């Protein structure tokens, strides 16, 4: 897909994968509407990119459906059209279901699943008016196989994947592409700032960088893949675990031991650096 003069909305754009995707879309010549809750952080990313792209920001909570309507109106006003929506904003509250407050569990669903559904629905008339485009949902390996200690997060990302596939079928034959990126652990603050409460199982898988995931978002806009799991080895393992639950249960102890070792090494590195 050629992004020159196309308009891209990115949620969760103030840091991590969202900010990395903004940089790559800007380098490709796209107009950007950057979305996140904190205006100051959005301004920092926008300020970095305005010498190479038209960039606007919209500080909002993506779980507010009425404000989502305003987001699209603002984007159309500023740029004239919408060509790509990247649903990247994410929320997590780690811990067992019994220990995490009910409000926090609900917010995970609101941000990770309800918001992308609402935003995708709102995007469709704009994408049709533009003659086509893409909706890219950032899911997770945790949505391909359950992760204890992240049950609701896993549920939200499983639901996001299923929504992606169903919406793609509804739009088959149109010029609107719908696809998902399902990365394993990513070396961003989403995990690294909360390393103590992150399940050891998470660290049993190879870690991606934000730049790698961002590049995958751009790539999947223009190919025929329905989903890209990252890295490939984690995608294969999660598929086997989903199809053969007995195998996943058998592998879990060794994977958790591996994850504990990696987690310990990462904590030691953090301590040495800071």
Q: What is the pLDDT of residue 263?
A: 86
Any idea which residues carry the catalytic annotation? 153
Confidence of residue 62 (pLDDT cuts 50, 70, 90): very high
> What is the average pLDDT across 209-232?
95
Q: What is the pLDDT of residue 20?
A: 98
Confidence of residue 242 (pLDDT cuts 50, 70, 90): confident
Question: pTM value?
Answer: 0.94
DSSP 3-state assignment of 31?
A: strand
Confidence of residue 273 (pLDDT cuts 50, 70, 90): confident
- pLDDT exceeds cutoff 80 at 82: yes
- For the chain, what percent of residues have pLDDT higher than 90? 76
Mean pLDDT (the chain) is: 94
Does an H or E element contain 18, and which?
A: helix 16-27
**Rounded Cα gap, residues 84 and 255, in angstroms:** 37
Residues 136, 33, 117, 185: is their CA dihedral positive or negative? positive
- pLDDT exceeds cutoff 80 at 274: no
Q: What is the pLDDT of residue 119?
A: 98
Confidence of residue 32 (pLDDT cuts 50, 70, 90): very high
DSSP string, 189-250: HHHHTTGGGS-GGGGGSPPBPHHHHHHHHHHHHSS--SEEEESHHHHHHHHHHHH-HHHHHH
DSSP string, 67-107: HHHHHHHHHHHHHS---EEEE-------S-TTTS-HHHHHH
> What is the average pLDDT across 236-253?
89
Q: Are 46 and 21 in contact (CB under 8 A)?
A: no
| CATH of 7-273 given 3.40.50.720, 3.20.20.70, 3.40.630.70, 3.30.930.10 | 3.40.50.720
Q: Where are the domains of the chain?
A: 7-273
Q: What is the pLDDT of residue 31?
A: 98
Give me the residue label for tokens 């917010």: 107
Q: What is the pLDDT of residue 266?
A: 86
Out of 94-98, 133-137, 249-253, the most confident range is: 133-137
Q: What is the pLDDT of residue 45?
A: 97
> What is the average pLDDT across 185-209?
85
Q: Which of 70-74, 212-216, 251-255 has the lowest mean pLDDT?
A: 251-255
Q: What is the pLDDT of residue 218?
A: 97
Confidence of residue 270 (pLDDT cuts 50, 70, 90): confident
């Amino acid at each position: 897909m050629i992004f020159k003069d196309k308009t891209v909305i990115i949620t969760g754009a103030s840091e991590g994968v969202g900010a990395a995707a903004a940089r790559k879309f800007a380098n490709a010549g796209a107009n950007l509407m950057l979305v996140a809750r904190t205006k100051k952080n959005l301004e920092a990313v926008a300020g970095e990119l305005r010498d190479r792209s038209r960039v606007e920001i919209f500080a909002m909570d993506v779980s507010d459906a009425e404000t989502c309507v305003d987001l699209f109106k603002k984007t159309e006003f500023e740029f004239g059209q919408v060509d790509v929506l990247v649903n990247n904003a994410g929320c997590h509250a780690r811990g067992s279901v019994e220990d995490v407050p009910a409000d926090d569990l609900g917010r995970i669903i609101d941000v990770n699943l309800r918001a992308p559904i609402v935003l995708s629905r709102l995007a469709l008339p704009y994408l049709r008016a533009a003659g086509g485009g893409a909706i890219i949902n950032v899911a997770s390996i945790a949505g391909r196989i359950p992760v204890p200690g992240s049950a609701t997060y896993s549920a939200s990302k499983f639901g996001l994947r299923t929504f992606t596939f169903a919406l793609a079928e509804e739009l088959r034959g149109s010029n609107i592409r719908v696809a998902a990126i399902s990365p394993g652990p990513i070396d961003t603050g989403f995990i690294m700032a909360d390393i103590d409460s992150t399940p050891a199982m998470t660290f049993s898988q190879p870690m991606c960088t934000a730049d790698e995931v961002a590049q995958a978002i751009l790539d999947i806009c223009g190919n025929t893949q329905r989903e890209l799991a990252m890295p490939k080895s984690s995608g294969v393992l999660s598929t086997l675990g989903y199809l053969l639950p007995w195998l996943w249960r058998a592998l879990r102890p060794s994977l958790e031991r591996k994850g504990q070792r990696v987690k310990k090494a990462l904590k030691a590195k953090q301590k040495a650096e800071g």
